[in-house]
Each structure stands twice: as structure tokens, then as C-alpha cells.
Amino acid sequence: MKRLTLLLFVLTLSSAASARDSFKICWSIYVGWMPWAYGAEQGIVKKWGDKYGIDIEVVQINDYIESVNQYTMGEFDACTMTNMDALTIPAVGGVDSTALIVGDYSNGNDGVVLKGKDELAQIKGQNVNLVELSVSHYLLARGLETVGLKEADVTVVNTSDADIVAAYGTPDVTAVVTWNPLLGEVEAMPDSHKVFDSSQIPGEILDLLVINTETLQANPDLGKALVGAWYEIMGTMSGTDVAATDAKTMMATASGTDLAGYDAQLASTEMFYTPEAALELVNSGELVDTMKKVAEFSFDHGLLGVGVPSAEFVGIEMPAGIYGDTGNVALRFDPSYMQMAADGELDGGTE
């Protein structure tokens, strides 16, 4: 049975790496990923797929971690996820993955909320509900550092993002860490106080479109189509005209809020509306520093695997350098497709 399972896994990887004309990407609800819903509904993704002679199916997954797991298992060719989860789930799982698009960083969209308390230090001794070992867990750890506390001073309660709002509405849950639009929902509840958020660690929680590296290498047109579609959507939603308002209204509705609510979420998101803005971050030494912090947190929490000797176990390749083991690179920040967009090499798309 083990040999059969291994054979099937190898065949799956081989299939994923071959040249194809049909692909699937998945996304989950988050302010920075709603453009994929809009792009699919408005036919923008299809238009760019047609330009390169390929079919791209865009699928919503309600549970964020489940979407990353399904990508890791080979059910999807690309998936929206954060930089930390890209490292600790697919990369650690042996799926060589590439950050094709760096769409934004959380600049207040992830936060710690306390019920009946208004200072982060008052979290000491409390149970804290969050998606364990996710960026919420990372945010909590970074926040605790700022008030001289350690994780041992709280008790983490693993809670799915699909359940966290309902959990916070119960009397026994007094502290949560989550992201928008869930963050806005819990913060609006009586006697709730946001005591720490990602604006206090800018640039550390990155929102990406991650793609299987072998699939990308075998199918470069998929990368071109996805990046082309993305920046067409960015061009529309970053405007001040009716088209921009209509686009953001559709994204708001799809995420369960209204335009004002979605605009509020965008205000706490550093969106990279142009490839040039994303490239500035991706090509910088700051990205290396960020991924070092993320890898160290991941190692400290056992997210890099059992018996792993150090935070440098997995190599992370970036334009400014490689952090970790150069012989075990499994996560890559590849700026080449965003550079094509910046250079105008992806203009077009069939009408």
C-alpha cells in the first residue's frame, strides 16, 4: 500500500509538471484576494487564458487552511496564501512553490481583539482563539514580544477561521486573533478592543498567489496569463471612476460586506496596484529579513518538521539572496513575471 501511495504521488507530481492547457487555482475570502472572484466573474481571467490558449478555472474554498492543503496535495495548480503558510505547508511538505504575485501586505488587516480589556498586556493568562500555526499565531507572538510576554503566558485555542466569529460571540471566549473581514465583525461586538494589529509589523504578513514551481516551469504561459489578469484587475479597482466603484462593490458583496466595509479593509491593506510597487519589495533586502523572522518563528513552533536542525532547513530563494539551505530550496520569490508586466510585455488579452 505504501508503494502504491508513493507511486500515485510521484505520478501526480509528474502530471502537474507536464505541459497542459487546463489549470485550476483556488482562493479564499480576504480583502486582498477578492480580485480573483471579480476577475473570474467578469471574464478577465478567461480573457487572459484565451490569449495564451489555456483554460483557467478559479475556485473559491471557504476554509483558508483547507485551500492551502488542497494546493499542497496537488488538487490545484496555484493558490492564494500568506508568505508564512507558503513556507510551512507546501514548501515544508516537499512541494516546490513559487510566489508568482505579491499582491499586498497586511497593514492592519490582522489583529488581536480582547473582550472587556483594552491593553495587549492584559491578555496574560487568557485563552486565545486563533487559527493555530497560521499568520494569526505569528502576529500574536510578535505582539507579545512588544509587551514583554511569551506564548507561555497565554493558552492558544485552535479555531477554524470559519468558526472564529461564532466562538467570539460566546461568553467564554475573551481573546481572538484573526483577519478581515472576520476581524471587523469581532471588533464590532460589544466591549471589544483591538489591542494589536499588523500595522505594527509592516511588511511581514505578505499575501501571495503561489504556484507549483514545476507546473510554472512547464507552462510559462500560465504565469503570464495570471499576472496579466491580475494587473488588469488592479488597474480597474485602483481608479476613481465608476468602473472602480463597481468593481470594488462586487468584491465587497462577494466577501459579505458593502462598499464602505470593503474600502475600510483596503485602508488597512498595503495593496500593490502596480507591478513596480510589488517589485520594489520583492527585490529588496527587507524581504530576506522578513522571511528570516518567519522561518525562525516556524522553526520555534515545530512547523518545519520533526527533527529539523535549524530555521535554515528549507531554502527560500529571493532576488536579494537565499535564506536557508541552498540545497533544499522549496520556496521561491520569482519577480520575472511581474517584471514582464512592468515592462509592458503582457499587454493585450483577447476581447
- 314 and 223 inside one domain: yes
- 152 and 167 inside one domain: yes
In sequence order, what are the beta bridge partners of 350? none
Give me the mean pLDDT over the 266-288 stretch.
Answer: 96
The boundaries of the domain holding residue 303 are 2-105+205-342
* Residue at 337 is within a domain: yes
- 99 and 238 inside one domain: yes
The DSSP-derived string for 140-209 is HHHHHHHTT--GGGSEEEE--TTTHHHHHTSTT--EEEEETTHHHHHHTSTTEEEEEEGGGSTTSSEEEE
- 66 and 141 inside one domain: no
Number of domains in the chain: 2
What pLDDT is stored for residue 348 in this prediction? 56
pLDDT digit string, tens, across residues 179-191: 888 999 999 999 9
Q: In the chain, how long is the greatest CA-to-CA distance?
A: 59
What pLDDT is stored for residue 8 in this prediction? 43
* Residue at 347 is within a domain: no
When pLDDT is cut at 50, 70 and 90, the band that residue 240 belongs to is: very high
Which candidate, 200, 81, 80, 187, places its Cα nearest to that of 140?
200
Please give the Cα distance from 70 to 19 (Å, whole number).
21
pTM confidence score: 0.85
User: Are 118 and 174 contacting, i.e. CB atoms less than 8 angstroms apart?
Assistant: no
- 228 and 250 inside one domain: yes
* Residue at 338 is within a domain: yes
Reading phi first (left if > 0) and then psi (alpha if -120 to 50, else beta), residue 8 is in alpha
Give me the mean pLDDT over the 326-336 stretch.
Answer: 97
- 301 and 317 inside one domain: yes
In sequence order, what are the beta bridge partners of 211? 78, 98
pLDDT digit string, tens, across residues 135-162: 899 999 999 999 999 999 999 999 998 8
* Residue at 244 is within a domain: yes
pLDDT digit string, tens, across residues 77-135: 999 999 999 999 999 999 999 999 999 999 998 999 999 999 999 999 999 999 988 88
- 122 and 139 inside one domain: yes
Looking at 172, 200, 228, the residue that finishes a domain is 200
Please give the Cα distance from 13 to 72 (Å, whole number).
11
* Residue at 350 is within a domain: no
- 213 and 247 inside one domain: yes
Looking at 182, 200, 218, the residue that finishes a domain is 200
- 97 and 196 inside one domain: no
CA 318 to chain centroid, in Å, comes to: 17
- 6 and 53 inside one domain: yes
- 151 and 258 inside one domain: no
- 96 and 210 inside one domain: yes
When pLDDT is cut at 50, 70 and 90, the band that residue 9 belongs to is: very low
User: Are 230 and 39 contacting, i.e. CB atoms less than 8 angstroms apart?
Assistant: yes
Mean pLDDT in the chain?
92
CATH of the domain at 91: 3.40.190.10
